[in-house]
Amino acid sequence: MVEPADRPSTAGQRLGAPESFGVSTLEPGLRPPTQSPGRQVCIRVQMLDDTQEVFQISQRSPGKVLFDLVCAHLNLTEGDYFGLEYQDHRKMMVWLDLLKPTLKQIRRPKNTILRFVVKFFPPDHTQLMEELTRYLFALQIKRDLACGHLICNDTSAALMVSHIIQSEIGDFDETQSWQHLLHNKYLPDQDAIRDKITDCHRNGQTPAESDYQLLEIARRLEMYGVRLHPAKDREGTKLSLSVAHTGVLVFQGYTKINAFNWSKIRKLSFKRRRFLIKLRPDPTNAHHDTLEFAMSSRDCCKVFWKICVEYHAFFRLFEEPKPKPKPILFTRGSSFRFSGRTQKQIIDYVRDSELKKVPFESTAATPRSPPASEDSPLGSPHVVVNGNGSVNDLGMGSTGGLGPEGRQLSPLTSPLLTEAGYVRNDDEDEARRKKFPTDKAYFIAKELLTTERTYLKDLQVVTESFQSAVGKDEAFPDSVKNLISANYDPVYKFHQGFLKEVEQRLAQWSGRSNAHIKGDYQRIGDVLLKNIQGLRQLTVHLQKHSECLVELERVCRTSRKVETLCREFEQQRVCYLPFNIFLLRPLHRLLHYKLILERLCKHYPPTHDDFRDCRAALADISEMVLQLQGTMMKMENFQKLLELKKDLTGIDNLVIPGRVRVFLFIHCDNVFMVLKEFIRLGCLSKLSGKGLQQRMFFLFSDSLIYTSRGMTPLNQFKVHGQLPLYGMTIRESEEEWGVPHSFTLFGQRQSVVVAASCAPEMERWVEDIRMAIDLAEQSSSPNTDLLSTSPSDNKLIEDGGAEQESEEELCGSRSSLERQGQRGNTTVHVCWHRNTSVSMVDFSVAVENQLSGNLLRKFKNSNGWQKLWVVFTNFSLFFYKSHQDDYPLASLPLLGYSVTVPLESENIHKDYVFKLHFKSHVYYFRSESEYTFERWMEVIRSATCSASRSLPSTRKDLY
């Protein structure tokens, strides 16, 4: 690279690029490639800020070498969105081919200036992960406005220019802004709307926020990213062709008159000066099968055809296409292919890599700070608080207030969790920790205390909050009110006394009296034995809890008013989980007591004073678990089906009386509720005419349902079709379709090709589907009565009729979830956003792996730690100020996260710290002891690592 000494600082230096080479865009993680031997040639490249840089390359170097040098100079990770264009010997603007030698394309390098510009315009700028990339896109929009490429109305133009000058000169000053507009040209007709521009400039923002808003306005314009190529139709009408992420566009003047989605296009080709679009057969399509456009020359046709090929590959393919094999005798057609990473590869690489993001400042007057975006240190994918206090992981940005589109943002930056609003308590906690007993038994007993506090709060949701909400409404049947009250109130009252005894014992044990000196209170077995013997007297009530759940479902089915009451209660902040889960808490708590006692018995030697009581209590609780285990497993499946019913639309009979297919029976007032078994839910990509489309799949013991998220008030998933498992076969088909981690399901009436996100996910799905097929084969006859449609409608759905879902609908449903936030925190929605899956085995493991207690949370840019009360349940962390709070103020869904210990380089100089991270998002939490540290790691791993899971030993025989 040649750089005269008197040249001003380069664009890369002004953007904060280090002196060393950065990251090669086309070969992630590598330095720029070694130059081929031979004479070096200087190539001039004009950057987006209009500066020119000179790069030295070998005569035989392919275009990729030059392009990588430019990206490395800027330290640009997401360089594949950009390209180098130049004017060739035919006076046509063309893109530098990365596979061909540069000097075979540029015949006069000394007289040619290549321009580094945006090549691929994504539909949503939030897909750009790096602030540097967004800044360069903003420069491209600025250039397109100035040269008249980005046509728009005066209001949009004035808004965009105001954001540009805000980024360049800072906050509004009337004299300065007016002078700046006099000396800088941002629009061809800028003088006509100068007053409107200054009016829009009055709202101050950081340069990064201005870039964000500029891109937000630009992406909504019809001419965003459009490069027009003149053509004529068959009748000789003058038109223009363009290509976008959706497909090929047709313009008349600056008005789009037609669009052909990639899913509708079978082939693109050119023959001399005719450009041909062959469409897929469609009886409802009024167009000819082949559309023909005349361009000015064969070269113009070929240039546009190449751009179409690259756009299709970049936005539609999972990975860079393989080169075609060289023909033996003669060639036919063009060997041109797209070279570089696809958009999916870029997004995956940037999110998954551990690259340190280099902060930079532009030449703007104000300091640059990233807007709320997905790669912000405080941004998603943590969580978004919705109106009822629950929290959704939406994969959106967050900075603690409202985002650029008015979205509610992360609770982890709310007053509860903000760095500015907490007291640093390191010294206080260190002093208090020194007084703690060091015996592991103490921390096991303390886990009993902390989880009992959470359990009592959960019981309170049923005994107080729910009964208060429905008790005054005459529509709610007295029989159900009395049934719930009679069987939950005694349990709640019992555990109030139990909790007091545990609190008193732990207070004595931790040194708040002199009793611990004698050792009389350094035990917990006697308290457990006494209360578990008392709990056995409540077995009759525990056995009735399943009846309460079934009766509540029955009255919800028969009365719309009761169903509305229950749904409204679920939206209250105190009901932080689906209400049916609270009804099963007493049964689940028995498992927790059993696990705690097993730990105590394993820890104590047989000669310890506490061992005998713990062993006796363990025998009693084991007998109770065995007695209620069958009911517990049936009710978990029943509860899961009821929860899924709320998340699905287009399916009516997940849980109905009198279903023909019999798996589990629950007796209630001489009526059998006949259920099917839920096995797994999660995301798979389904191959259709539009390519691979993300779909949510639900696997049951007799069928596989596939859905996508719809535009319903409750953000339910719309059923597209079902695949009966009776007679189904499965075959791995990665080589057949060229799609990683794909397999084909062959049903009696159709076959479906799907792909998982990774190899372990595919293995889990294939294993569970094969198990479900075996279950279906054991039944007497096939069953196809799942969907709530007629047989003819059902066939249309299975044949793909429901797949005709526009990108606008998908984008609309995404924004709908952000606005509503009603049920966006369910496991189904988290799996949708994290592109993962969970099984019924995972839910069963989660039932046992619940934990509560105080944790310290570290802020990324501070040494201070904030104390929080944290509850882990249902694959999520729920955050409270203290255990006395009635509802959580924030939550963090953990599906897809990893839990590890910090590295030495992260400078966390504290004991018992674990790190939660999802792609580029990191949280540090600190526990009080080695035991609690190990327990938090254990339970969180149960939610974040689904590989190699097996059922708990106490439950294996029930499946």
- Rounded to 10°, the helix 840-848/611-647 angle is 140
Mean of the per-residue pLDDT values of the chain? 76
Helical segments of 324-439, H only = 343-352, 426-435
Give the residue carrying structure tokens 């959470």: 454
- pLDDT score of 953: 38
Q: Read out DSSP for 758-820?
A: SHHHHHHHHHHHHHHHHHHHTSSS-----BSS-HHHHHHHHTTGGG---HHHHHHHHHHHHHH
Q: Is the pLDDT of residue 121 over 80?
A: yes
C-alpha 536/C-alpha 542 separation (Å) is 9
Mean per-residue pLDDT, 191-220:
80
Residue from 93, 102, 36 nearest 67 by CA? 102
User: 875 with 830: CB under 8 angstroms?
Assistant: yes
Reading the block at residue 291, the tokens are 């559309």
User: 737 with 753: CB under 8 angstroms?
Assistant: yes
Q: Which CATH architecture has domain 850-944?
A: Roll (2.30)
pLDDT tens for 710-743 read 665 667 888 888 889 888 999 888 777 778 888 9
Q: Which residue(s) pair with 238 in the sheet? A: 232
Max avg pLDDT among 309-318, 628-637, 771-780, 875-884: 875-884
Q: Which residue has the higher pLDDT, 175 or 519?
A: 175
Residue 484, judged by CB atoms within 10 A of its CB (0-12, 13-18, 19+), counts as buried
- pLDDT score of 869: 93
Mean per-residue pLDDT, 845-871:
86
CATH class, 229-321+336-347 region: mainly beta
C-alpha 779/C-alpha 777 separation (Å) is 5
pLDDT tens for 322-357 read 666 555 444 455 666 677 888 888 887 877 664 445
Q: Which residue has the higher pLDDT, 805 or 101?
A: 101
Q: Which residue(s) pair with 270 in the sheet? A: 275
CATH number belonging to domain 440-649 = 1.20.900.10
- pLDDT score of 34: 57
Angstrom CA distances, 26 to 64, 314, 902, stand at 8, 13, 31
Q: Is the pLDDT of residue 5 over 80?
A: no
Element (H, E) at 44: strand 40-46
pLDDT tens for 658-672 read 333 333 344 444 344
- pLDDT score of 204: 61
pLDDT tens for 786-802 read 443 333 333 333 333 33
Give CA 853 to chain center in angstroms.
Answer: 27
User: 784 with 676: CB under 8 angstroms?
Assistant: no
Residue 274 has phi, psi (to 5 degrees) of -105, 130
Helical segments of 184-267, H only = 194-200, 207-219
Least confident residue range of 74-78, 131-135, 282-286, 674-678: 282-286
Please report which confidence band the pLDDT of residue 859 belongs to, taking 50, 70 and 90 as the band edges. Answer: low
Q: Are strands 113-118 and 40-46 parallel, antiparallel or unpaired?
A: parallel
Q: What is the domain partition of the chain in residue ranges? A: 34-219, 229-321+336-347, 440-649, 678-779, 850-944
Q: Which residue has the higher pLDDT, 592 or 687?
A: 592
| Range 34-219 classified under CATH 3.10.20.90 | yes
C-alpha 857/C-alpha 315 separation (Å) is 39
Q: Is the pLDDT of residue 933 over 90?
A: yes
Q: Are strands 93-95 and 678-688 parallel, antiparallel or unpaired?
A: unpaired
- pLDDT score of 865: 86
Helix (H, G, I), strand (E, B) or coil at 566: helix
Do the domains 850-944 and 678-779 match in fold? yes
Give the residue carrying structure tokens 């493991």: 845
- pLDDT score of 283: 59
Element (H, E) at 290: strand 290-294
Give the residue carrying structure tokens 């606008």: 808
- pLDDT score of 459: 94
Please report which confidence band the pLDDT of residue 127 belongs to, taking 50, 70 and 90 as the band edges. Answer: confident
Q: Is the pLDDT of residue 219 over 80?
A: yes
Amino acid at 41: V
Reading the block at residue 281, the tokens are 């057969």
pLDDT tens for 368-424 read 433 333 333 223 333 333 333 333 333 323 323 333 333 333 333 333 444 433 444
- Tell the CATH topology of 678-779: PH-domain like (2.30.29)
Please report which confidence band the pLDDT of residue 809 belongs to, taking 50, 70 and 90 as the band edges. Answer: very low
Mean per-residue pLDDT, 228-235:
90
Residue from 623, 629, 592 nearest 846 by CA? 592
Residue 251 has phi, psi (to 5 degrees) of -120, 145
In the chain, helix, strand, coil percent, each to 5? Answer: 40, 20, 40
- pLDDT score of 529: 94
Euclidean distance between the first and the last CA atom of the chain, given in angstroms as a whole number:
67
Reading the block at residue 656, the tokens are 């109905």
Residue 244 has phi, psi (to 5 degrees) of -135, 180
